[in-house]
Chain A
Amino acid sequence: MFDPYKIREDFPILKRKINNHPLIYFDSAATSQKPKQVIEAIKNFYENHNANVHRAVHTLSQEASELYERAHEEIATFINAKGIEETVFVRGTTEAINLVAYAWGLRNLKKDDEVIISLMEHHSNIVPWEILSKMNGFNIKYAKLNNDGTINYEAFENMISNKTKIVCFSHVSNFSGVINDVKRIAKVAHEYDALALIDGAQSVPHLPVDVKDLDVDFLAFSGHKMLGPTGIGVLYGKREILEKMEPFQGGGEMIREVSFSPTTGRCSITWNDLPWKFEAGTPNVCDGVGLMEAVRYLKRIGMENVKTHECMLTEYAIKHMQECEKVRMYGPKDASIKCGIIPFGVDGLSSHDVALFLDNYGIMIRSGFHCAQPLHQIFKLQSSARVSFYIYSTHEEIDRFVEVLKEIEQV
Chain B
Amino acid sequence: MVTIEDYVARIEETCGEEKNFIVIFKYDKKEEAVANILKRAKTEKSISAIIFELTFKNVSFRLYGTGKAIFRNLKDKNELKNVLSDLLL
Residues of chain A touching chain B, judged by Cβ–Cβ distance below 8 Å, are 19, 350, 352-353, 356-357, 359-360, 368-369, 373, 376, 382-383, 407, 410-411
Contact = CB atoms under 8 A, between A and B. Distances in A.
B1 to A, nearest CB: 30
A373 B15 contact: yes
Contacts, number: 47
A70 to B, nearest CB: 40
30 contacts: A19-B66, A350-B18, A350-B20, A350-B72, A352-B20, A353-B62, A353-B70, A356-B62, A356-B66, A356-B68, A357-B51, A357-B64, A359-B64, A359-B68, A360-B51, A360-B64, A360-B65, A368-B14, A368-B16, A369-B16, A373-B15, A382-B17, A382-B18, A383-B14, A383-B18, A407-B47, A410-B47, A411-B47, A411-B51, A411-B53
A352 B66 contact: no
Contacts of B15: 368-369, 373, 383
A411 B72 CA distance: 16
B41 interface: no
A407 B22 CA distance: 21
B2 interface: no
A353 B22 CA distance: 9
Interface residues of B, number: 18
Contacts of A410: 47
Nearest to B16: A382
B11 to A, nearest CB: 13
Nearest to B72: A350
Contact of B64 (A350, A356, A369): A356
Contacts of A382: 16-18
Q: Quick one: which of A356, A359, A407 has the most chain B CB within 10 A?
A: A356
A352 B47 contact: no
Contacts of A350: 14, 18, 20, 70, 72
